[in-house]
Amino acid sequence: MNKAILPYGILGILLIIIPFGMPNYYLHLMIMAGISSILALSLGLLVGYLGLVSFCQAAFYGIGAYTSALFTMHLHIPFWVSLPLSGLVAVFFGIIIGFPSLKTKGPYFSIMTLGFGQIMSLIFVNWVDLTRGSQGIPGIPSPGILELPLLGAISFKDKIPYYFLVLAILVITFFFMRKLLTCQLGRSLTAIRENEMLAGAVGIRAMKYKLIAFMISTFFAGLAGSLYAHYFRFISPVSFTVVQSFETLINVIFGGAALLIGPVVGSTLLTVIPEALRMASEYRNTIYAVILLLVILFLPGGIAGELKDRLLAKRPSEGGAP
């Protein structure tokens, strides 16, 4: 067996076995970690492979959530159709903000995305006729029942089926990004990140590739929003503020922006750690903040980056090198 595939196989078996017999509360944490990982992967494409820090990822997350909720509730479009449509609607808005903002460089891009995030947050609150404002939208339907040939009828009102739905989309997102980054687009993005002027000199159209990457990022953020809406079956503007964008960015940095697995590691750990600290309720936020600071200060490559460096450091000694 290929040694590169073996870790994925072991992890896949564990992820399939783990949810059975697990209490609903822990299963809920795993579902939330999966949704957060999809959102973080969408941002990680920009941060890790283009060097662009976006502060409006929560806006596309919210666009996906509201689109999917409104399509299923008012237009009676099935969840399985509204799920990809939510991503496409997020892409539409991504083009609107991406085209002008990607022409800027450095902090100006971040400032423009921050402004867009604030605007969308205000729209979610104030467009009461569409979003019900701060009251939120209750009664969002679950994905319903799916008939499969061998497994029969599966109800996604239950947590275990929804866990596998989120896991399936997370796996698709991860391997899509992995394939993307090994093709010409990925190599072009890396070249643009390293030296945009030099990349342009060798014929790489920086604006084109940056916009494509931004559209892909918004698409998966929209999918994450749809999954969030149909899992909780209630959404409100509180979940899609700029604060959520900052939290997603922290997930990416904490796990390691330079590695594709980093955002998944960061999202999973930062979903579990706050819950593990509940026993120390008085000092919970302080301990959490200290953990974040220690990782940022002493592990600049993130958790996944540090693990990779340690594994690479061991290999020469194992092979008998001096």
- Average pLDDT for the chain: 87
Res. 250: pLDDT tops 50? yes
**Furthest-apart CA pair in the chain: how many Å?**
70
Q: Write down the pTM of the prediction.
A: 0.91
Q: Structural domain tally of the chain? A: 1
User: Is 176 within a domain?
Assistant: yes
Domain that holds residue 37: 18-318
CA 169-173-176 angle, 5° bins: 135
User: Is 112 within a domain?
Assistant: yes
Convert the pLDDT of each residue in 78-134 to its tens digit: 999 999 999 999 999 999 999 999 988 778 999 999 999 999 999 999 999 999 999
User: Is 5 within a domain?
Assistant: no
Q: Look at residues 58, 61, 32, 56 and name the one whose alpha carbon lies nearest to residue 219.
A: 61
User: Is 13 within a domain?
Assistant: no
Per-residue pLDDT at 193 = 85
What burial letters (b/e) apply to 274-311, b meaning 16+ CB within 10 Å?
eeebeeeeeebeeebeebeeebeeebebbbbbebbeee
Cα torsion angle, 278, 280, 286, 288, sign: negative
User: Is 6 within a domain?
Assistant: no
Do residues 231 and 37 touch, judged by C-beta distance below 8 A?
no
Convert the pLDDT of each residue in 150-206 to its tens digit: 666 787 888 899 999 999 999 999 999 999 888 888 888 888 888 888 888 888 888
User: Is 2 within a domain?
Assistant: no
- Residue 308: CATH number of its domain: 1.10.3470
Do residues 110 and 54 touch, judged by C-beta distance below 8 A?
yes
| pLDDT (average), residues 30-43 | 95
User: Is 270 within a domain?
Assistant: yes
User: Is 10 within a domain?
Assistant: no
